[in-house]
């Protein structure tokens, strides 16, 4: 069975976009909303992964405004929500067990951030034997100022590496038209 996995589309990500940080795919939230509607219409699960940080100074601390889900990430009744404290959604949640129990073998991945949580989740899912698809225009990437790397450079390398050994990489249009 297929499922859509939405990673870390929380207020802290929207805050970065609205602050004008260099990013790839600032329109990803709209694409994620369309993809979620499509999956729901088809009767396929939509799964939500949220990041929580125990440090109260973190924008991802559960009581911080940055922890709130963006509109594209709000779960509907009955949709599974996994709260992680690590980069990979598989490392600190029971996501793998849930997928196995539900007979989900194919994951379409969206969300934030390309070089971090999306990357580590896709690699871990592939290593666990799940068929991973990354919807590249529904994934957000940011710059790494201290590393002198642009958002585009990081994003392109991340997608190329994932495509090489871990996942299919497609656009939202390709997925929605198939």
Integer Cα distance of 175 and 157 in angstroms: 22
Q: What sign for the dihedral angle of Cα 90, 96, 102, 107?
A: positive
- Scan for tokens 């589309």, then name that residue: 9
Distance CA 94, CA 81 (A): 10
Residue 27 confidence class, pLDDT cut points 50, 70, 90: very high
38-52: b (≥16 Cβ within 10 Å) or e:
bbeeeeebbbbbbbb
User: What is the chain's mean pLDDT, rounded?
Assistant: 95
Tokens of 96: 């793998």
Q: What mean pLDDT do residues 101-105 have?
A: 98
Whether 50 and 8 have beta carbons less than 8 Å apart is answered as yes
Alpha-carbon distances, residue 58 vs 9, 52, 92 (angstroms): 16, 9, 18
Residue ranges and CATH numbers for the domains of the chain are 2-177 (3.40.50.850)
Give per-residue pLDDT as tens, 10-23.
999 999 999 999 99
131-158 pLDDT, tens per residue?
999 999 999 999 987 888 899 999 999 9
pLDDT in tens, 48-81: 999 998 888 888 888 887 788 999 999 999 999 9
User: According to the model, what pLDDT value does residue 54 have?
Assistant: 85
For 155-177, what is the mean pLDDT? 96
Nearest to 46, CA basis, from 60, 34, 55, 30 = 34
What are residue 47's DSSP bridge partners?
Answer: 5
The helix or strand, by DSSP H or E, that contains position 126, with its residue range, turns out to be helix 119-127
| Strand blocks (E) in 20-102 | 23-24, 46-51, 81-84
pLDDT of residue 63: 82
């Amino acid at each position: 069975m297929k499922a859509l996995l939405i990673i870390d589309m929380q207020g802290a990500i929207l805050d970065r976009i609205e602050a004008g940080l260099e990013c790839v795919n600032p329109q990803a939230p709209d694409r994620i909303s369309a993809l979620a509607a499509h999956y729901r219409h088809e009767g396929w699960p939509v799964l939500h992964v949220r990041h929580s940080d125990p440090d109260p100074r973190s924008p991802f601390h559960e009581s911080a405004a940055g922890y709130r889900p963006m509109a594209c990430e709000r779960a509907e009744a009955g949709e599974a929500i996994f709260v992680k404290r690590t980069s990979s959604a598989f490392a600190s949640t029971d996501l793998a067990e849930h997928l196995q129990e539900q007979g989900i073998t194919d994951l379409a991945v969206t969300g934030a951030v390309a070089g971090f949580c999306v990357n580590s989740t896709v690699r871990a899912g592939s290593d666990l034997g799940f068929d991973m698809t990354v919807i590249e225009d529904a994934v957000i990437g940011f710059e790494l100022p201290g590393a002198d790397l642009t958002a585009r450079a990081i994003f392109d390398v991340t997608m190329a590496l994932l495509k090489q050994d871990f996942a299919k990489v497609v656009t939202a249009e390709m997925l929605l038209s198939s």
